[in-house]
């Protein structure tokens, strides 16, 4: 009871203790996940000079750019492109706001007029740009939004148009800003005179060079603490981003010799017509007439049947004679061609012109692929137009150039009267190619392709030679299920055992190659040897990932077992990483001191004798290009020469390539000019020329940029 009474008496104190403990637990969790303190950090990709870049808007731009760049661009590449655009825009907007400059409505119309002035959709009957047509087009786009309209035969939404206008305005604002900066950069007469003197003032010198290479690197002792001190004294040169070091072992799913033999044998079933291990018997390839169906459906070839004729030069060099000389219906193979085993049948042969010369008029229709001009007719209307023109041309071919200019939308040939000069077989789309190479000179007709209706006239054909049509059954060389299962088992075993022992030793005992990768950045995507591997990079930068952790990743064609080797936080470069850069600098400094300490000579001749070298001469040295003949670029040495009087000898000078003693033998001042304006103009031009390349980088460096891309894992 006494204990209970004491607890009751101190209940308020205990409640306070428990509350504080709970509060500290919550705080600790918040600090471990500091982003939880702010909902803003979860929706903001970055903050640049106080301006937030919204995550959803950013991702929408990434998606739009991905569509424009196509599948060949990786998500990281696309994201970085958008990021660079956003940073550039935000950095410049800070400057626009300070100067209070903007693009007004009248200026916007002028900006739109320039790129659209030649677009037929915005021209009046006189062929002049009509702003009313532009206004009507924009109003219609807005009215049907979010449904797209068409411009130049391409779909465009109102949102796309707004972005287009915004990009034009941004580019114009940026150019206006750059022009304002350039306008403030002048070359004064005093600067012009200095420019003239830097070039025109000359000195002739005698010098002795004691190269640093005379002292072996091995004699200079440099400790880790020396390198660390150098790094701290030159912090701006050694600041680095956060980075990770990993190592990995790759397990490749590669077809074995047995797998290749099985694939090769599977093709024999189609050559012989026996079952050859198949559940269903098949006719021999040589005996069938429907070759496309046999190749694509029955044999299930990994490369589909190609109905074109080809010349011998198009065949694989090693087997071209064997295939080209087959009789019709005869089969060659199986043979290996790159990553495939193939079985090839000569389906047909004929003599075909090697190249052709034609002219054409293209009449597109709505829905056909664009070839440069907008389509305004339906398919039926375009066919009617093409047939009408053909009837006229058959009576009077002299009208062809006139019709090309009036009706054709193929910009690639309009300037050449619709003509495509000599081009080889197979260059054009199938229908076009078949007409020109199956016809004869003088033939003219309408040909339909994916681009529209072409009125084609054959103007020339070269001499014919043998071409062949081939049917090829191709099977990609891939690992069997047994092989992939074995690779999976080996990778899994290595993952488990390496977590229990030494990663390197286990790999060595199994003859696996360990590949180290150092200095991975948070936004990197490529891992040398295995390509685009964002999952591995993200894992290495996870807060929970500890040095020594091991994880298996599925990669293209197999697996990678990776181990996190080291974490390098943002800050100064480590001694180990900086050694390659710092060691030569420290050695150079110490060699210079050793040389200076041992030299007692006060004349060039004495120094040359003492150091077993010679006195050399350099003539007409100037400050604009501080190079000493025979010694290289030495700005400190040249600067010292201009500070000496004629006949004066310097003390020892620590240069870039050695220690020097120099004597000025002659000083030739630049010619005095009545006017230095030409040189002042040159200085002004030099200043202006670097604005476009250097101004943005300077503004970006000075900007306050908080980058949350890696933290949000938006890739």
pLDDT reading at 7 higher than 50: no
Phi, psi of 627 (to 5 degrees): -110, 135
Nearest to 530 by CA among 545, 543, 544, 520: 520
Residue 135 — pLDDT band, cuts 50, 70, 90? confident
Task: With beta carbons less than 8 A apart as the criterion, state whether 331 and 472 touch.
Answer: no
pLDDT in tens, 562-615: 999 999 888 888 898 899 999 999 999 999 999 999 999 999 999 999 999 999
Domain presence at residue 675: no
Say yes or no: 206 and 279 in one domain: no
pLDDT reading at 308 higher than 90: no
Strands laid side by side in the 355-363 sheet: 419-424, 355-363, 452-461, 444-449
Predicted local confidence at residue 594, as pLDDT:
96
Domain presence at residue 702: no
Say yes or no: 325 and 362 in one domain: no
Domain presence at residue 47: no
User: Of 332, 352, 372, at which residue does a domain stop?
Assistant: 352
Higher pLDDT, 280 or 637: 637
Higher pLDDT, 210 or 75: 210
Domain presence at residue 249: yes
Predicted local confidence at residue 111, as pLDDT:
87
Q: Cα-atom radius of gyration of the chain, to the nearest Å?
A: 38
Distances (CA, A) of 410 to 368, 369, 536: 13, 11, 48
pLDDT reading at 12 higher than 60: no
Question: Two tokens at 269?
Answer: 């079933």
pLDDT in tens, 174-193: 999 999 998 889 999 999 99
Give the alpha-carbon dihedral of 676, 678, 679, 680, to 10 degrees: 80
User: Of 352, 367, 396, at which residue does a domain stop?
Assistant: 352
Domain presence at residue 595: yes
pLDDT in tens, 463-475: 888 999 999 999 9
Indicate the pairing of strand 658-668 with strand 653-654. Answer: antiparallel
pLDDT in tens, 145-170: 888 888 766 778 888 888 888 888 88
Nearest to 563 by CA among 509, 521, 524, 506: 506
Peptide bond just before 197 cis, omega within 30 deg? no
Predicted local confidence at residue 373, as pLDDT:
56
pLDDT in tens, 18-27: 444 444 443 4
Say yes or no: 359 and 338 in one domain: no
Distances (CA, A) of 675 to 193, 623, 624: 9, 21, 20
Indicate the pairing of strand 340-353 with strand 464-476. Answer: antiparallel
Phi, psi of 486 (to 5 degrees): -65, -45
Conformational region of residue 452, where left means phi above 0, alpha means psi within -120 to 50, and beta covers everything else: left
Nearest to 637 by CA among 217, 230, 198, 203: 203
Residue 709 — pLDDT band, cuts 50, 70, 90? confident
Distance CA 190, CA 195 (A): 9
Higher pLDDT, 58 or 216: 216
Domain presence at residue 456: yes
Distances (CA, A) of 204 to 501, 602, 667: 70, 20, 6
Task: Average the pLDDT over 259-269 and give the result.
Answer: 92
Distance CA 348, CA 346 (A): 6
Task: Average the pLDDT over 694-713 and give the result.
Answer: 83
Predicted local confidence at residue 36, as pLDDT:
41
Highest mean pLDDT out of 54-63, 91-100, 519-528, 640-649:
640-649
pLDDT reading at 620 higher than 70: yes
Say yes or no: 583 and 654 in one domain: yes
Q: Which of helix, strand or coil describes residue 538?
A: helix
Predicted local confidence at residue 477, as pLDDT:
95
Residue 15 — pLDDT band, cuts 50, 70, 90? very low
The residue behind tokens 């990993």 is: 246
Domain presence at residue 711: no
Predicted local confidence at residue 33, as pLDDT:
46
Residue 5 — pLDDT band, cuts 50, 70, 90? very low
Predicted local confidence at residue 14, as pLDDT:
41
Task: Average the pLDDT over 328-352 and give the result.
Answer: 93
Say yes or no: 250 and 272 in one domain: no
Q: Which of helix, strand or coil describes residue 638?
A: helix
Find the domain containing 18 and state its range.
2-32
* CATH number, domain with residue 533: 3.10.50
In percent, the amount of the chain with pLDDT more than 70 equals: 91
User: Of 432, 462, 492, at which residue does a domain stop?
Assistant: 462
Predicted local confidence at residue 516, as pLDDT:
95
Say yes or no: 404 and 362 in one domain: yes
Predicted local confidence at residue 454, as pLDDT:
95
Distance CA 8, CA 570 (A): 53
Task: Average the pLDDT over 672-695 and give the result.
Answer: 91
Predicted local confidence at residue 426, as pLDDT:
83
Say yes or no: 248 and 263 in one domain: no
Task: With beta carbons less than 8 A apart as the criterion, state whether 559 and 553 touch.
Answer: yes
Three-state SS letters, 141-188: HHHHCCCCEEECCEEECHHHHHHHHHHHHHHHHHHHHHHHHHHCCCCC
Residue 280 — pLDDT band, cuts 50, 70, 90? low
Task: Average the pLDDT over 211-222 and give the result.
Answer: 94
Task: Average the pLDDT over 305-324 and give the result.
Answer: 89
Say yes or no: 359 and 455 in one domain: yes
Looking at the structure of the chain, the number of domains it has is 6
Task: Average the pLDDT over 80-100 and give the result.
Answer: 89
Residue 16 — pLDDT band, cuts 50, 70, 90? very low
Task: Average the pLDDT over 655-665 and give the result.
Answer: 96
pLDDT reading at 458 higher than 90: yes
Say yes or no: 440 and 526 in one domain: no
Predicted local confidence at residue 563, as pLDDT:
96
Task: With beta carbons less than 8 A apart as the criterion, state whether 446 and 386 touch.
Answer: yes
pLDDT reading at 561 higher than 80: yes
Mean pLDDT of the chain: 87
CA-based torsion, 420, 422, 424, 430: positive or negative: positive
Say yes or no: 362 and 451 in one domain: yes
Distance CA 484, CA 334 (A): 24
Phi, psi of 48 (to 5 degrees): -125, 115
pLDDT reading at 221 higher than 60: yes
Residue 31 — pLDDT band, cuts 50, 70, 90? very low
Domain presence at residue 392: yes
Say yes or no: 555 and 605 in one domain: no
pLDDT reading at 29 higher than 60: no
pLDDT in tens, 475-518: 999 999 999 999 999 999 999 999 888 999 999 999 999 999 99
Task: Average the pLDDT over 127-138 and give the result.
Answer: 85
**Cα angle 433-439-441, degrees, rounded to a multiple of 5:** 110
Say yes or no: 586 and 658 in one domain: yes
pLDDT reading at 112 higher than 90: no
Distance CA 363, CA 386 (A): 7
Stated pTM of the model:
0.62
Distances (CA, A) of 321 to 311, 326, 354: 11, 9, 19
Task: With beta carbons less than 8 A apart as the criterion, state whether 251 and 556 touch.
Answer: no
Predicted local confidence at residue 164, as pLDDT:
86
pLDDT reading at 700 higher than 60: yes
Distance CA 106, CA 616 (A): 69
């Amino acid at each position: 009871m006494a204990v209970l009474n004491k607890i009751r008496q101190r209940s308020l104190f205990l409640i306070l203790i428990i509350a504080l403990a709970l509060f500290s637990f919550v705080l600790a969790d918040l600090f471990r996940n500091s982003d939880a303190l702010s909902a803003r950090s979860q929706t903001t990709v970055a903050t640049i000079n106080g301006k937030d870049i919204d995550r959803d808007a950013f991702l929408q731009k990434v998606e739009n750019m991905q569509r424009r760049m196509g599948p060949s661009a990786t998500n990281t590449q696309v994201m970085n492109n958008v990021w660079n655009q956003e940073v550039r825009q935000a950095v410049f907007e800070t400057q626009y706001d300070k100067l209070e400059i903007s693009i007004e409505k009248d200026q916007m119309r002028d900006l739109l007029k320039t790129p659209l002035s030649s677009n037929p959709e915005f021209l009046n009957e006189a062929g002049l740009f009509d702003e009313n047509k532009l206004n009507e087009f924009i109003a219609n786009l807005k009215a049907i939004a979010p449904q797209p309209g068409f411009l130049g035969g391409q779909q465009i939404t109102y949102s796309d148009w707004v972005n287009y206008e915004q990009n034009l305005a941004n580019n114009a604002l940026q150019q206006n800003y750059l022009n304002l900066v350039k306008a403030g950069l002048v070359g004064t007469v005093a600067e012009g005179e200095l420019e003239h003197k830097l070039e025109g003032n000359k000195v002739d010198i005698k010098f002795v060079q004691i190269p640093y290479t005379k002292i072996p690197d091995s004699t200079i002792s440099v400790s880790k603490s020396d390198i660390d001190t150098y790094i701290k004294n030159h912090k701006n040169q050694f600041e680095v981003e956060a980075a990770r070091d990993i190592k990995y072992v790759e397990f490749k799913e590669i077809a074995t010799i047995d797998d290749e033999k099985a694939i090769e044998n599977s093709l024999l079933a189609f050559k012989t017509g026996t079952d050859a291990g198949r559940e269903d018997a098949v006719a021999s390839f040589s005996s069938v007439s429907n070759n496309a169906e046999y190749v694509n459906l029955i044999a299930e070839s990994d490369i589909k049947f190609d109905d074109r004729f080809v010349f011998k030069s198009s065949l694989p060099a090693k087997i071209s004679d064997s295939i080209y000389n087959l009789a019709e219906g005869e089969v060659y193979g199986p043979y290996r061609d790159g990553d495939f085993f193939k079985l090839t049948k000569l389906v047909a042969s004929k003599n075909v012109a090697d190249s052709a010369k034609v002219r054409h008029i293209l009449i597109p229709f709505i829905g056909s692929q664009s070839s440069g001009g907008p389509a305004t007719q339906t398919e039926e209307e375009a066919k009617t137009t093409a047939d009408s023109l053909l009837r006229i041309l058959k009576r009077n071919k002299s009208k062809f150039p006139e019709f090309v200019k009036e009706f054709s939308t193929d910009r690639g040939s309009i300037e050449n009267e619709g003509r495509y000069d000599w081009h080889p077989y197979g260059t054009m789309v199938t229908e076009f190619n078949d007409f020109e190479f199956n016809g004869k000179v003088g033939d003219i007709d309408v040909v339909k392709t994916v681009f529209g209706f072409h009125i084609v006239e054959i103007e020339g054909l070269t001499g014919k030679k043998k071409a062949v049509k081939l049917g090829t059954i191709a099977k990609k060389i891939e690992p069997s299920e047994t092989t992939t299962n074995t690779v999976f088992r080996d990778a899994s075993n290595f993952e488990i055992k390496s977590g229990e022992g030494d990663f390197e030793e286990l790999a060595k005992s199994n003859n696996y190659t360990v590949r180290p990768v150092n200095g991975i950045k948070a936004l990197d995507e490529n891992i040398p040897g295995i390509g685009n591997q964002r999952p591995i990079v993200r894992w290495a930068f996870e807060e929970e990932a500890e040095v020594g952790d091991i994880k298996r990743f599925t990669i293209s064609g197999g697996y990678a077992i990776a181990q996190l080797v080291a974490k390098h936080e943002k800050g100064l470069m480590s001694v180990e990483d900086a050694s390659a850069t710092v060691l030569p600098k420290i050695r150079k400094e110490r060699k210079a001191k050793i040389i200076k300490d041992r030299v007692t000579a006060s004349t060039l001749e004495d120094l040359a004798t003492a150091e077993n070298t010679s006195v050399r001469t350099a003539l007409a040295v100037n400050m604009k290009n501080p190079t000493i003949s025979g010694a290289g670029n030495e700005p400190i040495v040249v600067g010292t020469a201009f500070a000496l009087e004629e006949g004066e000898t310097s003390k020892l000078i620590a240069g870039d390539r050695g220690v020097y003693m120099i004597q000025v033998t002659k000083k030739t001042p630049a010619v005095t000019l009545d006017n230095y304006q030409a040189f002042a103009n040159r200085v002004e031009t030099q200043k202006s020329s670097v604005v476009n390349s250097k101004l943005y980088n300077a503004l970006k460096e000075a900007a306050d940029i908080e980058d949350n891309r890696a933290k949000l894992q938006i890739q």
